[in-house]
Amino acid sequence: MLTFLPYTFKSLWRHRTRSLLTISGAGVALLVFCFVGSVQHGLFALTENQEAGRSLIVFQENRFCPQSSKLPQDYASTIAKQSGVADAMPIMVFTNNCRASLDAIVFQGMATDLLMKWRKLALQSGSWDGFARQDDAALVGKAVAARRKLKVGDKFTIGDITVAVAGIFAADNAADEGLIYTHLDFLQRARGLSDVGMVTQIEVHLNDGANADAVAKAIDEEFHAGPVATTTRTKGMFQADTLSDLAELIGFIHYLGFACVGLVLSLVATTTVMSVQDRIKEHAVLQTLGFRPRRIFGLVITESVVLSVLGGGLGVIGGMLFLAWSDMSVAAEGVTIAFRPSWDIAMQGAIASLGVGFLAGLAPGWQAAQAKIVTALRHA
């Protein structure tokens, strides 16, 4: 059928307005499809990666927003002695908005040596030495830096917290690029408070082979009768529970992706049917020239696929560029979901475009192939 592509493009150009409207509609639908896919991919990457299952989060019992959880910092030294624990990292978390927000700022304060050990950060500008020397220094994720137009040396204020940007980093985990890391003692003293000795949560890293559930149970039993009771879950479970309401919404918009594919199917099928109706005589002439019905069927399928792939391709490319440029993310209760482009999403969009184009052309292609030559030539 590649031989007949010039003929297909001429047929589409003959009704260029209709073709362009169909292509643009398919493009918008596939752009939305890619955006929905990136939201789901971001949630999956956050809750299902290997690290999420091999580390634990210790939080104050019956607390949700980071501002309400307060654990004694010395719990970390007790946890570090537990069997199966490789390290226990006390973390102070502050966010400007505990509710779901597209512009939430999340600070995490931790010791510099633990930050360097357990966070895979690649500084794009600034230096670790500059961060270590300055009490109010911060390492800013590139997504936050792009959104707030920050660069090294800038002062950045959210609420009562003012930090100096000592570095801008990229991370293996896209969600980390929506965070700001500071020194633990700085964040404990920020906002005019004195929370020295208290932290929001403790991140526990496990030894290979350790049973995460058993370690979590042992930690909670250790502090059950202590000054502050704890709830310990794997990092993935903690993030999933924190984002439970948002996850339900993301699960619902999954159907929006299917609706977009259905819209493309409807648009392309309608345009292809109209094209076949306009060219009944033309197809009859082709049959008189020796084209078999199977070849006519193939021509219609090719036209449908070309329409769908052109529109879908534009939508996928536009969606990937938008996601890469926007650095969008949504945060709730201090946990961030990043929306990032990926080859998986692009491939899904391309396959959807190709499949929809083929399906949309089946009915009109069959109609064109079964048309009787004499009847078609008499068509007005």
What tens digit of pLDDT does each residue of 101-136 get?
777 889 999 999 999 999 989 999 999 999 999 999
Contact 91, 203 (CB under 8 A): yes
Provide the 8-state DSSP code for 70.
-
325 CB-near residues (< 8 Å, 6+ apart) = none
Report the SS3 class of residue 104: coil
Q: Average pLDDT, whole number, for the chain? A: 86
Whether the per-residue pLDDT at 148 is higher than 80: the answer is yes
Report the SS3 class of residue 17: helix
CA 154 to chain centroid = 29
Whether the per-residue pLDDT at 338 is higher than 90: the answer is no
**What is the per-residue pLDDT for 380?**
47
Domain boundaries defined on the chain: 2-46+245-377, 62-228
Contact 41, 344 (CB under 8 A): yes
pLDDT tens digits, 352-380: 999 999 999 888 888 877 767 666 566 54
pTM of the full predicted structure? 0.80
- Please name which of 135, 141, 224, 215 lies closest in space to residue 178, comparing C-alpha atoms: 141
Whether the per-residue pLDDT at 147 is higher than 80: the answer is yes
- By the 10 Å C-beta count (0-12 exposed, 13-18 middle, 19+ buried), 93 is classed as buried
- Amino acid at the residue 1: M
Query: What six digits make up the tokens of 156?
Result: 């950045």
From residue 146, give the alpha-carbon distance in Å to each of 46, 106, 161, 270, 327: 21, 15, 20, 42, 7
Contact 297, 369 (CB under 8 A): yes
Q: Partners of 179 in the beta sheet?
A: 106
Give the residue-averaged pLDDT of 8-28: 87
Whether the per-residue pLDDT at 27 is higher than 70: the answer is yes
pLDDT tens digits, 236-252: 888 888 777 777 777 78
Report the SS3 class of residue 85: strand
Cα Rg of the chain (Å, integer): 28
